[in-house]
A and B are shown apart, each in its own frame.
Chain A
Amino acid sequence: MGFFIWLEQTGFAQWVHESESVFAFPTFLTAHVTGMGVLVGLATVINLRLLGCIPRVPLTPMATFFPVMWYAFYANVVTGAALFASDATAKVQTLDFYIKLVLVALGMLSLVAIRSEVFRSPAVDKVPVSSKGKTLAVISLILWAGAITAARLIAYLAPRHHAAFLFQRLGSLL
C-alpha cells in the first residue's frame, strides 16, 4: 500500500487529480475514451466481418486495423496509468478495477488469437472463416462488452469520492 500512497502523492499524480486545468484529468479521461472507441470499434468491425456481416470485404486488407488497434491500446496504457496514479489507493481497493484489467487483457489476447488463427492462416480469403475463427469472434465481442461494462462501473463502485460525489451532486440538483 505504501507504494500506492507514494504514487498518489507524486507531483504528477497530484496535478492530474487536483488541477482545475482542462488538460489534466479531463483530457486524460477523454483520450482514454477515444482510445477505447478506436480499439473496440475496430475490433467490433473485425468480429462482425468474421461472423458474416460485410462478407464482400476481403480479410487481408482488414489486417491493417491491427497496428491501429495496438497503438490505441498503448495510448490507453499511458493514459490509463496516469488516471490510475491520480487515484491509486482507491483503485487498488476496487475489485471491479481488477476485473476490468483482466477483461481488457483477455480482449487483447482474443485479438492476438484471431490474428494468428484467421489473418495469418495461409488459406485466408480462400476458404470461409473457420468455426474456430467465428467462436473467437463471439468470445472477443463478449470480452470487450464485459470490459466496457466493468470499466464504466468503476466510477460507481470505487470507494471514496466518486460514487458518493456523483450521488451528492444528484442530491443537490433535486
Chain B
Amino acid sequence: MNVNLAHLHLLLNHVPTIGTVIGLGLFFVSLVGRNDSVKKASLVILLMVAAAALPVYITGNAANEIVQNRVSKELVAKHQDAAALALAFMAVTGIFAWLGLWQYRRDSRPAGWTMFAILLVSVVTLGLMTQAATLGGEIRHEEIRSAEDAAAGPGVVASIGQFVLDHSWVWPTCETVHYIGLCLLFGTVLAINLRLLGMMKSVQVSALRGLLPWGLLGFGLNVISGMLFFVATPTQYTQNVAFHWKIIFMVLAGLNTLYLTFDESWRVEEGSDAPFGAKVMAAVGILAWFGVLYMGRMLPYIGNSF
C-alpha cells in the first residue's frame, strides 16, 4: 500500500477535535478543582492541538486533490470552509493558551481575563471543529448526510483564493508583509537565543521577554499572508516537498518555543551563563527557524511553486 497525504489527513484529522475535547475537559477540571498543574497541562494540550491543526488543514487540501473526482465538490467546499474557520479559532485558542503559560512563567499565575478568553474561545473552537469534522465525515459516509447538504456555490475559502488570484496587487503585498514579519520574528529569535548562547552576557534573560509580542506579531503576519498564498494556489504547496519540510521545521521551531517557555533559563541573571541544555535548545531554535526560511525561499527551486 502506498501511504499518501490523504491517508495522513485521515490519520491526523481526529487530533483537533479529540484534542480540544481533552484540553477543554482538563481546563474545566482545573477551574473546578483549582489545580494549577492540571491547568498548565490543559493549556499545553490546547497549544499543541493548535499547532497540529495546521498540518491537518494542509493535508486536507492534499487529500482533496487525490479524491476530487470521486467525491462531491460541494461537500468538500463546505468541509473546507468549516475547517478554515475552525483553524482560525483554534489558532486564537493556541495564542491565548501560550499567553496563559507565559503568565504562569512571569507572574506564577495567569491573569483572570486570559483564563476567561481561553474558556470562551475554546468552547467556540470545539463547536466549529465538531462541525468541520462532521462535514468532513459526510464526504465519504453517505449514511450521515442530511438533506440540505448538497447546496451548491463556491465556498468562502475558494472565494478568498480567487480574490488573491484576481487582483494582481494582493500577491506582491502579501510577499512584502511576509518578509517584514520574517524580520520581526528573526530579530526576536536571534536576540533571545544569542543571549542564551552567551552573547550580551551582561543582560538578564528575562529582560528580553518584552520582544515576545513582537515575535508573535511577526509570526501572525506570516501565518496570515502565508495562508493567503496557500488558499490561492494550494496544489503548488501540497505537492511541493520543500513545503512539507517547511511545515516540519515550523513544528520543530514551535516545540522549541514551547520548551523555552517553560525552561528555567529565563531565570538566568546578568553576567551568568545559561545551562548547557538551554544553549543546545537555543542553537536548535535558531537552526529550526533558519530551516523554515530556507525551505520557504527554496519553494520555487527544490519544489516548483513560484
Contact = CB atoms under 8 A, between A and B. Distances in A.
**Range of interface residues on A (Cβ < 8 Å):** 35 or more
Given A30-B298, A153-B172, A60 B202 contact: yes
A123 interface: no
A173 B304 CA distance: 11
Contact of B180 (A55, A56, A145): A145
Contact of A26 (B184, B191, B298): B298
Interface stretch (B47-55, B59-67, B204-212): B204-212
A156 B306 CA distance: 12
A48 B214 CA distance: 9
Interface string A44-60: 11001000011111101
B248 interface: no
B236 A38 contact: no
Contacts of B236: 173
B124 to A, nearest CB: 32
A64 interface: yes
Interface stretch (A87-95, A131-139, A164-172): A164-172
B172 A45 contact: no
Contacts of B210: 53-55
Interface string B269-306: 00000000000000000000010011001101110001
A155 B300 CA distance: 13
Contacts of A81: none
A37 interface: yes
B294 A54 contact: no
Contacts, number: 109
A127 interface: no
Given A40-B187, A61-B200, A62-B200, A174 B165 contact: yes
B182 interface: yes
Contacts of A165: 306
Contacts of B207: 54, 56-57
Contacts of A58: 202-203
Contact of B211 (A30, A53, A145, A167): A53
Interface string B163-202: 0010010001001100110111111111100000001111
A22 B233 CA distance: 23
A42 B190 contact: yes
**Range of interface residues on B (Cβ < 8 Å):** 35 or more
B103 interface: no
A38 B182 CA distance: 10
A60 B214 CA distance: 22
Interface string B74-109: 000000000000000000000000000000000000
B306 A169 contact: yes
Contacts of B35: none
B204 A56 contact: yes
B214 A53 contact: yes
Contacts of A36: 179, 183
Contacts of A169: 306
Given A30-B294, A30-B297, A41-B184, 18 more contacts: A22-B301, A25-B301, A26-B300, A26-B301, A33-B297, A37-B182, A37-B183, A40-B187, A42-B187, A44-B183, A53-B214, A54-B210, A61-B203, A62-B200, A148-B179, A152-B176, A165-B306, A170-B165
Query: Which A-B residue pairs are the 5 nearest by beta carbons?
Result: A41-B187, A41-B186, A26-B301, A56-B207, A37-B186
Interface of B: 165, 168, 172, 175-176, 179-180, 182-191, 199-204, 207-211, 214, 233, 235-236, 290, 293-294, 297-298, 300-302, 306
21 contacts: A22-B302, A26-B298, A26-B300, A29-B297, A33-B179, A33-B293, A36-B179, A37-B186, A41-B188, A41-B189, A42-B191, A45-B190, A48-B211, A54-B210, A61-B202, A148-B183, A152-B176, A153-B176, A167-B168, A173-B235, A173-B236
